[in-house]
Structure 1
Amino acid sequence: MQNEKKSGFWGGLPLWKKIFIGMGLGVLVGTILGPDAEYLKPIGTLFVNAIKMLIVPLIFCSLVVGVTSMEDSAKMGRIGIKSIVIYLGTTAVAITIGLTLGNIFAPGAGLNMAITDAAAAGKEAPSLVNTLLNLIPKNPVNALAAGNVLQIIVFALGLGIALSLCGEKAKPAIALFDSLAEAMYKLTELVMKLAPYGVFGLMAWVSGKYGIEILLPLFKVIGVVYLGCVLHVLVVYTGIINFVARLNPVRYLKALLNPAAVAFTTTSSSGTLPATIKASREEMGVSKGVASFVLPLGATINMDGTALYQGVCALFIAQAFGIDLSTSDYLLIILTSTLASIGTAGVPGAGLIMLSLVLTTVGLPIEGLAIVAGIDRILDMARTSVNVCGDLMVSAVIGKSEKELDEAVYNKETPAA
């Protein structure tokens, strides 16, 4: 009888509570075990690998289904433009918040680090032409196999549009992709049941490896980034939900709990996509077509949290090396981070790649990356959560503007179908 009660308690908890219990236990066990917590990392690695297994087929099938479900091509173009404008607009706002907080709190002031010749030599940033050319996959199969998300998105959009234009002859193929998408959603549901255990393993490893001691010297940077992330969600996102979409922001905040918890621990917005789609459709009442189109797009080009992190870290590195930035440097950081977000994959560690591009563009020492890399995992947790919260916000705004959001479901007046 006692075992049944325990089983009932655990089974009755919502996923986000299970995840946070796993997270808390992981931190406790990791702190106790220290470096020996490395032995628990495979538990988390298995979960992350299972999530990665879902990414390519889920994005591909979801986008094809999302495009083909919009029989009105003008509507699809309208939704695409709206999504990109909102995503890039909030990214610019996010990095502005990061730069502002970096100036206020000055996390790198007083470190007095010296610039070496090696540090000053940065890699040349890829040209805009090459970036645009690389959007088109020479071989779609290779793009799928390599997990090149941007190329997969371009091919999926093209295939979806072509199927929509084919009319009756394309119906069997559309039905196939629809079935595959449903199968991926079900597989996602099964994988997500492992989340609390995977999170336990990941957090035990992180806390055991880094510990409190290594976080103390950089605690100010972590605090500023986390403060900025919280402000961006509570002020910018809920403000858009409330004043633009005219929806209850509290319902939005409740709906993002599960995806944000998964994003916080897996540090992958693409990997969190299954949970994001589920929350958008079942918790917020967004239609299948809008959710399947907007969210995979957002998982790739919406990098608000990453942009905010870059604003803080770029200033931290400048302050640490005693470099004064001009107004044009600030504008260049905002522009570079906003545009670079389009080509940054939603996977763990992608923020460091993006940060190196920003540092190179502004002329800051690349050596600064080595300082930030030590706490990148901790920062990645917060910035990925913000990215996912932004995806959900945009899906709700687009759904409301296109009259494809069931407000009865959003307000919990009736369960999602």
Structure 2
Amino acid sequence: MTIGGKKISLTTQIFVAMIIGSIAGLICGDIMKQVAFIGTIWLNCVKMIVVPMVFFTIITGITSQKNLSSLGRIAGHIIAYYVLTTLVATVIGLTVTEIIRPGEIANFTGLASKKVAAATSITMAKFFTDMFTTNIFVTFTKGNILQTLIVAVFFGIAIMKVANEENKEMLKKGFAAVSDMVFSLITMVMKASPIGIFFLMADSFAKYGASLFTSMAYLAGTYYLACIIHVILVYGGILWISNGINPFRFIKDSMELWIYTLTTCSSVASIPVNIKVAKEKFGVPERISSFTIPLGSQMNYDGSVILYGCVIVFISQVVGHSLDIPTMLKIVGMSAILSTGGGGIPGSGIVKLFIMVEAFGLPTEIVGIIAAFYHIFDMGTTTNNCLGDLAGTIFVSRMEDKEAA
């Protein structure tokens, strides 16, 4: 888009669409609810590309490595990063809520509750078993991203181990060509982002109105403060030490990503934007980002575990029940395990929160109220998760530069 001969960046277009959409939702609520399907159509187009995008980007990310030892080194670095930041995220969520103590001043009068479906038990055996499919076509049809990722890893490694060099190169070029086509399709859909985001934001504000700012304000404010602290201290600290990147420069240069995640609330749908930002703003080669970012969309849930910690402490304060150190350590461990499990459960975010609260013997009724306003929190969880994927990718890229040097 150009105005007065000057090209307006897509980031600016999205930001403006988000603001205008919010205002339109507040002023013309009923009308915006009726045309909300336009935003849904755009989001469906994004989701349509998710499975092929994850499948081909992971394969090309693996086959673009020099060898399998290079892949193993990258995988080791990024997995260690994801595990460590997830543990720290839970501690931050618990600590911030303990200090602010929003549960002692919260008032739930007049807030509607929403019934949370009974949670399917998530065992360690079930979690690992569900990662591996018996039929890749069923996996693709159901859009199971975790299984798609595992299948793609198998395919990528298999290509790297093909003995015939001519066939190996042909397979590499073939998958790279299809990957280029997929990203070309993504570019087409992304150009319509301002339109889709306008209608999505308008619909959200039409549904919730001023409650997006007032209801659940104490808990939401505490949660977002914990997220900001995590982004600045943990992600920013890691990047400052390893790459010399100022935390506030990281936030500024990743604006295109977090504006997108705040409106779509989808880590997977944000993968192409994340890869683009990593390449254009931080110089990360696609051979790294096309592997680490899709992996992070299924492994890195820092925003989610911050919410688990905040909500558990919040509810304990509401009912006047204090948490001791051993219980908090148990919350940290369980959050880390549960955050990567249950990806196939419908509405898994709120269901996993229900499981966490129930596991520690706290009343689950408040989870029902949170569920009614979950969109407020989902904006933060998605944004934090994706910024974590980006920071980890930049960190690993730096590690690879040092290895090469």
Normalized against structure 1, the TM-score is what?
0.88
Aligned match of 2:390: 392
Aligned match of 1:316: 314
Quote how far apart the aligned CAs of 1:348 are.
Answer: 10
> Which whole-Å CA distance do the structure 1 matches of 2:150 and 2:116 have between them?
36
| Distance change in 2, residues 1:221/1:214 (3 Å) | same
What secondary structure, in the 3-state scheme, does the structure 1 residue paired with 2:3 have?
helix
What secondary structure, in the 3-state scheme, does the structure 2 residue paired with 1:338 have?
helix
Q: Which amino acid aligns with 1:139?
A: N
1:259-274 equivalences in 2 (<5 Å)? 259-274=257-272
Q: Which amino acid aligns with 2:264?
A: T
Aligned match of 1:257: 255
> Which whole-Å CA distance do the structure 2 matches of 1:385 and 1:324 have between them?
30
Question: Contact between 2:232 and 2:248, CA under 8 Å: does it hold in 1?
Answer: no
| Distance change in 2, residues 1:25/1:92 (3 Å) | same
Aligned match of 1:37: 32
Quote how far apart the aligned CAs of 1:123 are.
Answer: 4.2
| Distance change in 2, residues 1:348/1:33 (3 Å) | farther
Aligned match of 1:3: none
| Distance change in 2, residues 1:10/1:37 (3 Å) | farther
Aligned match of 2:160: 164
1:183 paired residue among 178, 181, 184: 181
1:21-36 equivalences in 2 (<5 Å)? 21-36=16-31
> Which whole-Å CA distance do the structure 2 matches of 1:241 and 1:155 have between them?
31
Q: Which amino acid aligns with 2:121?
A: A
Aligned match of 2:373: 375
1:116-127 equivalences in 2 (<5 Å)? 123=119, 125-127=121-123
Quote how far apart the aligned CAs of 1:363 are.
Answer: 2.5
Question: Contact between 2:212 and 2:376, CA under 8 Å: does it hold in 1?
Answer: no
What secondary structure, in the 3-state scheme, does the structure 1 residue paired with 2:102 have?
coil
| Distance change in 2, residues 1:346/1:393 (3 Å) | farther
| Sequence identity (%) | 32
The superposition leaves residues 366-409 of structure 1 with CA deviations (integer Å, 9 ceiling, x where unpaired) of 32221111221011112211111111111111011111899xxx
Question: Contact between 1:284 and 1:396, CA under 8 Å: does it hold in 2?
Answer: yes
Aligned match of 2:149: 153
> Which whole-Å CA distance do the structure 1 matches of 2:41 and 2:331 have between them?
37
Q: Which amino acid aligns with 2:129?
A: L
2:73 equivalent to 1:87? no
> Which whole-Å CA distance do the structure 2 matches of 1:10 and 1:309 have between them?
45
Aligned match of 1:101: 96
Moved over 6 A (4+): 119-122
> Which whole-Å CA distance do the structure 1 matches of 2:230 and 2:275 have between them?
21
Quote how far apart the aligned CAs of 1:172 are.
Answer: 2.1
Instruction: Tell me how large the CA RMSD over aligned residues is.
Output: 2.7
1:243 paired residue among 241, 244, 267: 241
2:133 equivalent to 1:137? yes
Quote how far apart the aligned CAs of 1:107 are.
Answer: 2.0
Q: Which amino acid aligns with 1:205?
A: D
> Which runs of no fewer than 5 residues in structure 2 stay unpaired?
109-114
Question: Contact between 1:164 and 1:170, CA under 8 Å: does it hold in 2?
Answer: yes
1:291 paired residue among 289, 297, 312: 289
Aligned match of 1:415: none
> Which whole-Å CA distance do the structure 2 matches of 1:25 and 1:178 have between them?
39
Aligned match of 2:222: 224
What secondary structure, in the 3-state scheme, does the structure 2 residue paired with 1:212 have?
helix
| Distance change in 2, residues 1:24/1:10 (3 Å) | farther
> Which whole-Å CA distance do the structure 2 matches of 1:126 and 1:60 have between them?
26
> Which whole-Å CA distance do the structure 2 matches of 1:123 and 1:357 have between them?
7
Q: Which amino acid aligns with 2:220?
A: I
> Which whole-Å CA distance do the structure 1 matches of 2:140 and 2:133 have between them?
10
Greater Cα shift, 317-326 or 148-157: 317-326
Question: Contact between 1:269 and 1:346, CA under 8 Å: does it hold in 2?
Answer: no
| Distance change in 2, residues 1:242/1:9 (3 Å) | farther
2:52 paired residue among 57, 74, 82: 57
Q: Which amino acid aligns with 2:126?
A: N
2:172 equivalent to 1:174? yes
Normalized against structure 2, the TM-score is what?
0.91
| Distance change in 2, residues 1:120/1:20 (3 Å) | closer
> Which whole-Å CA distance do the structure 2 matches of 1:27 and 1:122 have between them?
34
> Which whole-Å CA distance do the structure 1 matches of 2:116 and 2:292 have between them?
40
> Which whole-Å CA distance do the structure 1 matches of 2:345 and 2:63 have between them?
27
> Which whole-Å CA distance do the structure 2 matches of 1:343 and 1:270 have between them?
16
Q: Which amino acid aligns with 2:48?
A: M
> Which whole-Å CA distance do the structure 2 matches of 1:277 and 1:348 have between them?
27
Quote how far apart the aligned CAs of 1:15 are.
Answer: 1.7
